[in-house]
Amino acid sequence: MGSAVRMLIVDDERHVRTSLAAWFRDEGFDVETAASGKEALLQLGDRAADILLVDIKMPGMDGIELQQRVRKLAPDATVIIMTAHAAVETAIQALKDGAYDYITKPFDPEDVSRLVRKAAERYSLLSENRTLRERLEAAEPRLVASKGSPMDAVVEQINQVAVTDTSVLITGESGTGKEIIARLIHARSQRRFGPMVVVNCGALNEGVLESELFGHEKGAFTGAAGRRRGKIELANEGTLFLDEVGDIPAKVQVDLLRVLQEKSVVRVGGNMSLSVDFRLVAATHRDLEAEMQQERFRQDFYFRINVLNIEVPALRDRPADIPLLAEHFLQQFTQQMNRRIAGFTDEALGGLCSYRWPGNVRELQNAIERGVVLCRGGKLGVQHFPFLSAPAPDDQSLSSMEAAHVRRVLAAQGYNISHTAAALGIDRATLYAKLKKYKIERPT
């Protein structure tokens, strides 16, 4: 453990420095010594120390002042004060100023070894913690937007709401990146070290959604072979993200409302109330106010989830972001597929910028992925984006236009039924009915 830990021993008495240095080198520490506070600061400028053993009484800069200056220079360094019995009160002052501990001279070898090992363990934990934080920060999703983009306002809202603990409702068309916004809120919040649990409410029927959210006890229903924790329980101390919240059935809305009010959950088939502490972020592509008017969405639940609202603009409302996003996805997919593609032709980029993107960023992402798959080197051109050059159908009837539009969105979404349905603003069953009606099949 001690092999990587760097120690600096600061004492004006040479025999103390040499004896302690020899002692801790034997224990596996990387030890340097300094005869004064000034020398210690000079050394720290060149080489960081993880643990400092500092004598409290030294001519010139004393241990207290050195400790205070070390705090500013290296806040993570662990300072242990060495003191004589007579100066214990001063050592206690050093503790109040942030020293890790103090030890009185002369030392019991067991005591000093134990103390320094404890400090080394603390250092290891701090380092591990720092590494994990850095990894977490590096893992924060990236929001690609140009300067002056409407997304600037969204980012500002994210930063404002992230530090609070209130519920957030993210609205916007399908494919605008609502989940990324939710992840950013979580990543920038105090709960970022807790879990972020995602539930796609639109993909589940009422019974499954109930069990998914609240969990169930063994035997709660046919097939409930064992106890299962719900997503709400799993989100404890973190963030619960309810995607497609507008699709939640009325009964589940009532149950969720109770959870939000009481901060506790009861598993399906259970009778024990479990305390939960989570932050709710919900998202929908639906107009919930219109849904309320049609009594498809409960007003009380709406007000509970819509404390703060973030409206994510459609991609067609921020055309300046399209080249940046296209380039971002191009880099992402060329790296993933190990391809060399030199960018876009001007014609293709112009087409991408003027296209209306009904499926928003997700549609753009799918289009670029498909283009990278099809491209055999050089640049991505309009031929790699069939929807840009699709001729207007001769038949101008509504059904013909609809069939052409479904075909185009389906191709842009890589023939993914869920994404296409979301982009078209219809459910999967309706999309299947239209595919059948227009005899649209996935090309082999």
Partner 1 sequence: MGPKLPDGLARWVLEHLPYPFIGSTIVPLGVDLGECHDRHRNQVDAGSLLQELPPPSDDLLKMALVGADLFYSVMTYVFGLTELGGRRGVLSCYRLRDELGTRPEILLQRTLVETVHELGHSLGLVHCVVGECPMHRTLWAEGIDTKKETYCPSCLATLVKNGH
117 counts as binding partner 1 under rule CB under 8 A: no
Minimum distance from residue 27 beta carbon to partner 1 (Å): 7
Q: Which stretch binds partner 1 (CB under 8 A): 16-24, 280-288, 341-349, 406-414?
A: 16-24
3-state secondary structure of 82: strand
* Count of residues that bind partner 1 according to CB under 8 A: 17
Helices (DSSP H) in 141-192: which residue ranges? 151-162, 178-187
Which two tokens mark 213? 């959210």
Q: Is 87 in the site for partner 1 (CB under 8 A)?
A: no
Q: Six-digit token pair at 387?
A: 């929807």
Residue 82 in the binding site for partner 1 (CB under 8 A): yes
Among 5, 8, 16, 87, binds partner 1 (CB under 8 A): 16
The least distance separating partner 1 from the CB of residue 116, rounded to whole angstroms, comes to 12
State which residue, 2 or 358, has the beta carbon closest to partner 1: 2
Shortest approach of partner 1 to residue 377 CB, angstroms?
57
| Helix (H) or strand (E) run with residue 170 in it | strand 168-171
Q: How far is the CB of 53 from partner 1 (least distance, A)?
A: 10
Closer Cβ to partner 1, 28 or 219, answer by number:
28
Residue partners of 260: CB distance under 8 A and separation at least 6: 167, 280, 304, 305
112: contact with partner 1 by CB under 8 A:
yes
Strands of 220-377, DSSP E? 228-229, 239-243, 264-266, 273-275, 279-284, 308-311
27 vs 327, which CB is nearer to partner 1?
27
Stretch that binds partner 1, among 103-111, 254-262, 337-345, 425-433 (CB under 8 A): 103-111
Identify the helix (H) or strand (E) that includes residue 400: helix 398-412
Binding flag, residue 31, partner 1 (CB under 8 A): no
> Three-state DSSP class for 173?
coil
Peptide bond into 249 cis (omega under 30): no
* Closest CB 49 distance from partner 1, rounded Å: 19
Q: Does 110 bind partner 1 (CB under 8 A)?
A: yes
- Cα–Cα distance, 130 to 133 (Å, whole number): 5
- Stretch of 19-27, 90-98, 308-316, 406-414 contacting partner 1, by CB under 8 A: 19-27
Q: How far is CA 364 from CA 112, 244, 259, 305, 345, in A?
A: 63, 21, 38, 30, 16
Instruction: Note whether 108 binds partner 1 by CB under 8 A.
Output: yes
- In the chain, the amino acid numbered 424 is L
Torsion over CA: 42, 43, 49, 53 (sign): negative
Position 116 contacts partner 1 (CB under 8 A): no
* Closest distance of CB 15 from partner 1, Å: 5
| Residue 259 touches partner 1, criterion: CB under 8 A | no
Give yes or no for residue 106 binding partner 1 (CB under 8 A). yes
DSSP structure string for 204-242: S-HHHHHHHHHEE-TTSSTT--S-EE-HHHHTTTSEEEE
Q: Rule CB under 8 A: say whether 113 interacts with partner 1.
A: yes
Whether the Cβ atoms of residue 253 and residue 297 lie closer than 8 Å to each other: yes
Residue 27 makes contact with partner 1 by CB under 8 A: yes
Q: Which residues bind partner 1 (CB under 8 A)?
A: 15-16, 18-20, 23, 26-27, 82, 105-110, 112-113
